[in-house]
């Protein structure tokens, strides 16, 4: 879509004030997350992303290659945070691990995921925006970031089902039940405020939500 050649000579302009910033890359990254999460890739404009942190639109193409590259960098950054939040939740090797150990660990993983979804709603907002159409962005995000997460859950869930701790739901379906149930109040927080008058960022909401999910997904946990 871009212009390729320049025919006219820009006018010289007299005075120019200039702001120097060292955190501009990170500022643009986080602004992009908020805008992409709220409006989707197409709905978010590079001008609004820049304006939100008092930067200029061409700085995006300078510090990143393109709008698409900024999106990729933002998603990389956010999945990195998710990885930190869930680090060590699922053992790499399940051999010899019993349901009595992995059950509480899985429950804690659910709680952490709910808290992360509340603290960083942009992640699930972007995932759900992108997941509605088969784009290159979706293919990249799914293969790079979602699949490892998805694959790690499957054997642990099967172990818990065999032990009678987990609810009777197929593992692949469970993934979407879990992610959907855990993220929607934060993905659609503006709607929650209109519909309930409550604030889904309230710790009371978040902990009640997390406990509810653990109760219905792992009914065999309670001693």
Partner DNA sequence: TAGTCTTATTATCAATCGATAATAGTGAGG
Partner DNA sequence: CCTCACTATTATCGATTGATAATAAGACTA
| Mask for 114-143, x = binds its own copies (CB under 8 A) | -----------x-xxxxxxxx---xx--xx
Regarding 135 and contact with DNA (CB under 7 A), the answer is: no
Regarding 187 and contact with its own copies (CB under 8 A), the answer is: yes
Reference 128, options 192, 73, 182; nearest CA is 182
Residue from 152, 163, 184, 221 in contact with its own copies (CB under 8 A) = 184
**Beta carbons of 50 and 27 less than 8 angstroms apart:** no
Reference 72, options 1, 139, 2; nearest CA is 139
Q: CB pairs under 8 A, 24+ apart, for 143-150?
A: 144/79, 145/75, 145/76, 145/79, 149/82, 150/175
Residue from 61, 72, 158, 188 in contact with its own copies (CB under 8 A) = 188
Residue from 56, 147, 193, 198 in contact with DNA (CB under 7 A) = 56
Regarding 166 and contact with DNA (CB under 7 A), the answer is: no
Residue from 38, 40, 52, 61 in contact with DNA (CB under 7 A) = 61
Closest approach, Cβ 133 to DNA, in A, equals 14
Q: Where are the alpha helices (DSSP H) in the chain?
A: 24-43, 46-52, 58-63, 67-85, 99-119, 121-130, 136-141, 147-162, 171-187, 189-196, 203-217
Query: Taking CA 174 as the corner, what is the angle to CA 171 and CA 177, rounded to the nearest 5 degrees?
Result: 165
Regarding 29 and contact with DNA (CB under 7 A), the answer is: no
Regarding 21 and contact with DNA (CB under 7 A), the answer is: yes
**Beta carbons of 112 and 85 less than 8 angstroms apart:** yes
Closest approach, Cβ 108 to its own copies, in A, equals 19
Chain contacts with its own copies (rule: CB under 8 A) = 37-43, 125, 127-134, 138-139, 142-143, 146-147, 150, 167-170, 172-185, 187-196, 198, 205, 208-209, 212-213, 215-217, 219
Chain contacts with DNA (rule: CB under 7 A) = 1-21, 24, 44-48, 55-63, 66-68
């Amino acid at each position: 879509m871009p212009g390729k050649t320049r025919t006219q000579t820009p006018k010289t302009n007299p005075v120019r004030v200039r702001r120097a910033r060292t955190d501009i890359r990170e500022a643009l990254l986080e602004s992009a997350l908020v805008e992409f999460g709220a409006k989707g890739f197409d709905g978010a404009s590079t001008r609004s992303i820049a304006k939100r942190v008092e930067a200029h639109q061409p700085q995006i193409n300078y510090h990143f290659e393109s709008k698409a590259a900024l999106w990729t960098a933002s998603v990389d950054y956010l999945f990195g945070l998710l990885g930190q939040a869930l680090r060590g939740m699922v053992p790499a090797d399940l051999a010899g691990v019993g349901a009595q150990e992995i059950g509480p660990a899985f429950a804690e993983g659910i709680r952490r995921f709910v808290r992360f979804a509340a603290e960083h709603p942009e992640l699930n907002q972007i995932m759900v925006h992108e997941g509605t159409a088969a784009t290159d962005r979706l293919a990249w995000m799914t293969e790079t970031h979602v699949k490892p997460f998805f694959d790690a859950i499957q054997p642990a869930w099967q172990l818990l089902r065999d032990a009678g701790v987990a609810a009777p739901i197929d593992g692949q379906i469970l993934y979407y039940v879990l992610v959907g149930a855990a993220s929607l109040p934060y993905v659609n927080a503006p709607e929650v405020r209109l519909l309930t008058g409550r604030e889904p960022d309230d710790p009371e909401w978040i902990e009640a939500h997390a406990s509810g999910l653990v109760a219905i997904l792992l009914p065999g946990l309670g001693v």
